[in-house]
């Protein structure tokens, strides 16, 4: 199905009206979802992607109208666009360097009308926002009653996209942001357990190409240990689904 865009129908200013100048990300942003057991970030996406898919399905099922509008905040190259199917989808980002947004804007001052969106989606963006509380409040503002927010963010990840790497989050931080923003219900899920996080850290440091077989062993070990000795005190990441 062809992508449907409706940026003009929800924004308060013309698309691409302004652009923030920031450095291009080292290594480039995610374009396609490809999971490889030897990848340095395998244990990150191995848990994150199924949780995102599950949350999107749940969010779309609870939207109280048929004409669904989705706002992807920090969309990058829209690697998750296909998961939303035939909805009206608008991607927003801070600029067009290494990104393909429909609208350029600030996550803490969204150029979107209040109550114009059914689902706000934002993955691995909130740690780069100076005021994450304000970002969550803005997401709540643009949602219609009964709308959903899907947001993900790290508890553990090395410094990246410096110097725009400001925060790490516990599940209690996410819960507090949601409560303060007026969300009624929410579900916070760990993206993997403690062992996956430990082995992920190791794999990220084994980044030479010739170490791919070693990474495959480390990643497999992380999966096994997560299964054999489950613990969720120190996950690498969280995925959140909240309802307005």
Q: pLDDT (tens digit, 9 = 90+) per residue, 171-217? A: 999 999 999 999 999 999 999 999 999 999 999 999 999 999 999 99
Q: Is the peptide bond before 168 cis (omega within 30 degrees of 0)?
A: no
User: Any idea how long the chain is?
Assistant: 244
Between CA 93 and CA 86 the distance in angstroms is 21
Asked if residue 6 has pLDDT above 70, the reply is no
Q: Which two tokens stand for residue 147?
A: 């709308």
Asked if residue 97 has pLDDT above 90, the reply is no
> What pLDDT score was predicted for residue 98?
82
Terminal alpha carbon distance of the chain: 29
pTM: 0.89
> What pLDDT score was predicted for residue 12?
67
Q: Over the chain, what is the mean pLDDT?
A: 90
Residue 125 sits at φ, ψ, to 5 deg, of -120, -40
Three-class DSSP category at 27: coil
Per-residue DSSP letter, 25: P
Residue 105 · residue 95 · CB < 8 Å: no
> What pLDDT score was predicted for residue 27?
58
% of the chain residues with pLDDT over 90: 79
Between CA 69 and CA 6 the distance in angstroms is 8
Between CA 16 and CA 92 the distance in angstroms is 9
Asked if residue 4 has pLDDT above 90, the reply is no
Between CA 142 and CA 145 the distance in angstroms is 10
Domains (ranges, CATH) in the chain?
7-18+34-193+235-243 (3.40.50.150)
Model confidence at 17, in pLDDT bands (50, 70, 90)? very low
Region class of 167: left (phi > 0), else alpha (psi between -120 and 50), else beta: beta
Asked if residue 239 has pLDDT above 70, the reply is yes
> What pLDDT score was predicted for residue 142?
97
pLDDT digits (tens, 9 = 90+) for 113-168: 999 999 999 999 999 999 999 999 999 999 999 999 999 999 999 999 899 999 99
């Amino acid at each position: 199905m062809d992508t449907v865009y409706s940026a003009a129908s929800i924004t308060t200013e013309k698309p691409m009206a302004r652009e923030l100048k920031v450095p291009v990300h080292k290594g480039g942003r995610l374009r396609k979802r490809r999971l490889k057991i030897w990848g340095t970030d395998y244990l990150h996406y191995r848990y994150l992607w199924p949780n995102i898919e599950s949350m999107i399905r749940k969010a779309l099922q609870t939207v109280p109208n048929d004409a669904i509008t989705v706002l992807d905040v920090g969309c990058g190259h829209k690697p998750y666009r296909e998961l939303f199917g035939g909805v009206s989808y608008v991607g927003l980002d801070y600029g067009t360097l290494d990104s393909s947004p429909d609208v350029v804007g600030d996550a803490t001052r969204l150029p979107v009308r209040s109550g114009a969106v059914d689902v706000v989606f934002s993955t691995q963006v909130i740690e780069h926002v100076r005021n994450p509380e304000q970002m969550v409040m803005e997401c709540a503002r643009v949602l219609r009653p009964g709308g959903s927010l899907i947001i993900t963010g790290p508890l553990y990840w090395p410094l990246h996209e410096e110097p725009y790497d400001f925060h790490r989050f516990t599940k209690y931080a996410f819960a507090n942001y949601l409560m303060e923003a007026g969300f009624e219900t929410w579900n916070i899920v760990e993206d993997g357990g403690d062992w996956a996080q430990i082995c992920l850290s190791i794999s990220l440091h084994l980044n030479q190409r010739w170490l791919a077989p070693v990474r495959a062993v480390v990643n497999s070990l992380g999966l096994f240990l997560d299964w054999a000795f489950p613990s969720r005190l120190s996950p690498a990441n969280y995925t959140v689904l909240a309802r307005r």
